[in-house]
Structure 1
Amino acid sequence: MSLFASFEKLLSSILLPIAEKIDKQVHLSAVKKGMVVLTPILLLGSMAYPLKALKNVFSDSAAVQEWFINNTYLIDLLIKFSLGFIAIYTVIAIAYFLSEGYKIYTVGAIALSLFSYLILTTSVNPDGSLDIRFFDSKGLFTAIFVAIASVEIYRFFTERKLVIRMPEGVPDFVSSSFELITPTAFIAVLFISIRYFVADFTGGLLVPEILMEVLAPVVGSLDNLWVVWFVIMLRLLFWFFGIHSAVLSPILSPIFVQYLSENIAAKTLAEELPHFVTGGTFSAFVNFTGSGVTLGLVIAMMIAKTQRYRKVGQVSLVPSLFGINEPVLFGAPIILNPILFIPFVLGGSLIGIFPLVLMKYGFLAKPFFDPPYLPLFFEGYLTAFDWKTPFVQLVQIMASFCVYYPFFRIMDKQEMIREAEVQAEKEKKSVFSKKDDELLDELGLDF
């Protein structure tokens, strides 16, 4: 067995079971789906600062300036009811997907989860107004845990039949409502008790404050370039073995959402942005032209000497411009190809993290907008509206070509040899066929 085959077998035995468990784990699956559902809300919240910036574009128009002076509150509402309530939307989304996975009453699960979250995080101010400061990203991780815990409690009560059952013939919506009574009572007592004991033990702190303190090392770890580089390499390692990197999204997505929210808040207040990595920067720079920044390989294939690779390059070009590189991942292929392991995993991670290094040290603006998937250069520019971004991504493309080309040349030469052997075999068969025809003619036989 070759060295690479042994390495492949070892990593497959480690990574594949982990990926399968993460993908099939019902709680992580609900978190992943819930984070994806939040994308439109995050997009709307991210648009707030660019909308405010339009005031500067029309600086010579008194009418536009006056409109912004009188109606800026509308944009502020967009921020408040998107990012300002992101924890509430998280509770709803995760409770929905988790209860759907368990096939229990979805509306009831969402109601219980929201009820639990409000008990743990909301206070009443002296003037009678509600203190909802943990409805934003500061309450995000509490929202995740509360949604999971509430749905699990509800499931426990329903499976153990610890609910009020109505007689046959009662409408389903009425019966389901009565089934909520006992779990709701239990949850009320449980979460009020948790809130009381946490506040009593910590001198008045709420659960989200404690949870943020406990998770601070984990959440803050992605502000470290070495940790981000490790995460990028791990994602590419998963891809190399044919495992979609989305298996890591239940861990990464909540952190990215919190980072984006904090960056937008800082941008709105004209403060320095605290984070250099968000979901948008991963999409626009780390996955630029696809995971592993594979456009350089696509270009190399388009100028290949072999017909097969030229066709794969031509088919892969347009999708790569939109960040879709499955045609080259499976067509080259990159997956399980020992020749491309180094340029894809090591080279792709270094090229992907390069713009993030520039952001970290202030040479490139930090992100405050997660744009939708857009073609080459547009998505990267929109993350921070920095004019230097397209030039940085041009460097990424050139680096990608330089990294992939020497390794691809080995593949191209191997394919040239294979094509020559196939052609020789065809010519050999053609010669034998011609001789057979000549022999049949000499014998006067005609088939």
Structure 2
Amino acid sequence: MNKFINEKLMPPMMKFLNTKAVTAIKNGMLYPIPFIIIGAIFLILANFPQQNVADWISQIGWAPIFNQAYAASFGIMALFAAFGIAYSWVKSEGYEGASAGLTSIIVMVMLQPSTISTVTKIADGSAVVGEYQVNGVIDAAWLGGKGMILAMLAGLLVGWSYSWFMKKDIRIKLPEQVPANVSDSFGALVPAFVITFVAMLIYALSVLTTDQTPIEWIYTLIQTPLQHATDGPLGVFLIAFLPVFIWWFGVHGATVIGGIMTTLLLANNADNLKLFQEGNLSLDHGAHIVTQAFMDQFITVTGSGMTFGFVIFMIYRARSVQMKTIGKLTLAPAFFNINEPVLFGMPIVLNPILAFPFLIAPLVSGFGTYAAIALGIIPPFNGIFVPWTTPPILSGLIVGGWQGAAWQALMIFVTGAIYWPFAKKYDAILVQQEKEAYEAEQAEQA
């Protein structure tokens, strides 16, 4: 079985995951993260969980100010993603990537509507009495979660085409005496112009033949179905099983799979966040179950494989010196969802005894949490982005209120219980190995 996995299954999988496109998405999606976190902080301030404090913030007029800061950071994450993906691709080819990233932003804006339709209603809102369009504007909704697939496509296509121009040396060349930054700026002129011109033709073809902009039909035909697919049992299985499966072979599965899935999970997050701001966060209003918070706070909490219960066993129940020592060293990192010391120090990687709980625990938590939200036991997650290093319970509280914190604690306990019988078995093996090593050492000294 191991031979089949190592020789037949893993090589094509790793070949795909190491392609330029996947690598660009994985690396490029890191660029929006700091600004998403910044926006999440302002969003928490605008919708403070303590009601009397929230009322006071609203009364003094700071709620819309905090929301403005949120909209200027979290709210335009698609632009950051488009820049980051194109930049990462071109940078990996050995060229200056900032111009490619900016070109990708141009393409993003080019392919969006430049008008917003609005309606006038009678006082009670029951009937429409007029409709008009506002021209020369950009709908902010397309710069956030609704624009994530276009951001990914624009970033990839711009990154590839810009690199092609550079490789073919199709650019304006200036004398060597010209400063490098000036030369790079003029060198970007030809590829940026051609890419922008092609994007304009795509926009024209779309609006003249379908009366819709490219981003609208991309959202309808591609992003919405993908978000719904991610938001079901298949999505739960993919984000719960594949990262730990890859991790078991020593490859950072969370980074590999998370880099690909983040685009859709953040889009789901943004949809939930909009509903949360409107006071309509429920499945009946279209809230998503599987979001970035679902993955970070309920599948990889305390680290890939949800190993916190295993760490507790190592500290308080293990008899082997190896387990006790590693357990004490890994407790503090586990509180911040870092468990590489356990994965490689124990090790869990390539360990057949610990493979079962390592692979099963995230699935139990993932499908359990999915069922809990679907059945109304806990509410959908509010879409507030929490850094993955946020300690458990606190992260559950932020994304799901007290119900989220309580359910997170329950999942940590349940997954910990899954580890214990296997940890006990492995501990017994280590005790025997340590005993044999000690006896051999004593025999040599005698």
TM-score, normalised with respect to structure 2: 0.86
Is the deviation greater in 30-39 or in 345-354? 345-354
In structure 2, C-alpha distance between the alignment counterparts of 1:266 and 1:345, rounded to whole Å: 34
1:159-181 CA-partner distances (Å, limit 9, x unpaired): 22322323443333443333333
- Of residues 2, 13, 24, the one that matches 1:8 is 2
1:357 corresponding residue in structure 2: 371
In structure 1, C-alpha distance between the alignment counterparts of 2:58 and 2:256, rounded to whole Å: 47
Q: Is the 8 A contact 2:262 2:292 kept in 1?
A: yes
1:129 corresponding residue in structure 2: 136
Aligned letter for 1:143?
Answer: A
Aligned letter for 2:437?
Answer: V
Higher helix share: 1
Aligned letter for 2:406?
Answer: F
2:216 corresponding residue in structure 1: 209
Does residue 59 of structure 2 align to residue 66 of structure 1? yes
**Structure 1 residues 388 and 184: CA distance shift in structure 2, 3 A:** closer
**Structure 1 residues 187 and 426: CA distance shift in structure 2, 3 A:** closer
- Shift in Å at residue 310 of structure 1? 1.6
In structure 1, C-alpha distance between the alignment counterparts of 2:150 and 2:273, rounded to whole Å: 21
1:312 corresponding residue in structure 2: 326
**Structure 1 residues 269 and 417: CA distance shift in structure 2, 3 A:** same
Bigger Cα Rg: 1
Q: Is the 8 A contact 1:58 1:65 kept in 2?
A: no
1:347-370 CA-partner distances (Å, limit 9, x unpaired): 342134423331232211222212
In structure 1, C-alpha distance between the alignment counterparts of 2:311 and 2:202, rounded to whole Å: 56
1:367-420 CA-partner distances (Å, limit 9, x unpaired): 221222222311221112x21333323322332332112122221222232233
1:260-292 CA-partner distances (Å, limit 9, x unpaired): 111111111111341122222312111122111
1:380 corresponding residue in structure 2: 396
Q: Is the 8 A contact 1:120 1:207 kept in 2?
A: yes
Aligned letter for 2:419?
Answer: Y
In structure 2, C-alpha distance between the alignment counterparts of 1:226 and 1:89, rounded to whole Å: 28
1:345 corresponding residue in structure 2: 359
1:31 corresponding residue in structure 2: 25
2:246 corresponding residue in structure 1: 238
Aligned letter for 2:86?
Answer: A
Q: Is the 8 A contact 2:16 2:22 kept in 1?
A: yes
1:424 corresponding residue in structure 2: 439
Does residue 187 of structure 2 align to residue 179 of structure 1? yes
Superposed counterparts of 1:155-234, under 5 Å: 155-202=163-210, 204-215=211-222, 216-234=224-242
Q: Which runs of 5+ in 2 are unaligned?
A: 117-132
1:439 corresponding residue in structure 2: none
Does residue 51 of structure 2 align to residue 57 of structure 1? yes
Q: Does the residue aligned with 1:54 lie in a helix, a strand or coil?
A: coil
In structure 2, C-alpha distance between the alignment counterparts of 1:64 and 1:113, rounded to whole Å: 38
**Structure 1 residues 394 and 343: CA distance shift in structure 2, 3 A:** same
In structure 1, C-alpha distance between the alignment counterparts of 2:343 and 2:423, rounded to whole Å: 13
Does residue 143 of structure 2 align to residue 139 of structure 1? no
In structure 2, C-alpha distance between the alignment counterparts of 1:340 and 1:290, rounded to whole Å: 15
In structure 1, C-alpha distance between the alignment counterparts of 2:432 and 2:49, rounded to whole Å: 62
Is the deviation greater in 250-259 or in 175-184? 175-184
Does residue 49 of structure 2 align to residue 46 of structure 1? no
In structure 2, C-alpha distance between the alignment counterparts of 1:38 and 1:21, rounded to whole Å: 26
Superposed counterparts of 1:248-397, under 5 Å: 248-273=257-282, 274-302=287-315, 303-367=317-381, 368-372=383-387, 373-384=389-400, 386-397=401-412
Q: Does the residue aligned with 2:290 lie in a helix, a strand or coil?
A: coil
Q: Is the 8 A contact 1:286 1:353 kept in 2?
A: no
Q: Is the 8 A contact 1:288 1:352 kept in 2?
A: no
Does residue 424 of structure 2 align to residue 415 of structure 1? no
2:418 corresponding residue in structure 1: 403
Superposed counterparts of 1:88-167, under 5 Å: 88-124=79-115, 127-132=134-139, 133-167=141-175
**Structure 1 residues 188 and 428: CA distance shift in structure 2, 3 A:** closer
Q: Is the 8 A contact 1:343 1:403 kept in 2?
A: yes
Q: Which runs of 5+ in 1 are unaligned?
A: 1-6, 434-447
Q: Return structure 1 stretches of 4+ with deviation > 4 angstroms.
A: 124-127
**Structure 1 residues 321 and 64: CA distance shift in structure 2, 3 A:** closer
Aligned letter for 1:346?
Answer: I
**Structure 1 residues 60 and 79: CA distance shift in structure 2, 3 A:** closer
**Structure 1 residues 257 and 418: CA distance shift in structure 2, 3 A:** same
- The number of residues matched between the two structures is 420
Aligned letter for 2:214?
Answer: V
Aligned letter for 1:183?
Answer: P
Q: Does the residue aligned with 2:402 lie in a helix, a strand or coil?
A: coil
TM-score, normalised with respect to structure 1: 0.86
**Structure 1 residues 186 and 366: CA distance shift in structure 2, 3 A:** same
Q: Does the residue aligned with 2:171 lie in a helix, a strand or coil?
A: coil
In structure 2, C-alpha distance between the alignment counterparts of 1:156 and 1:64, rounded to whole Å: 52
**Structure 1 residues 171 and 352: CA distance shift in structure 2, 3 A:** same
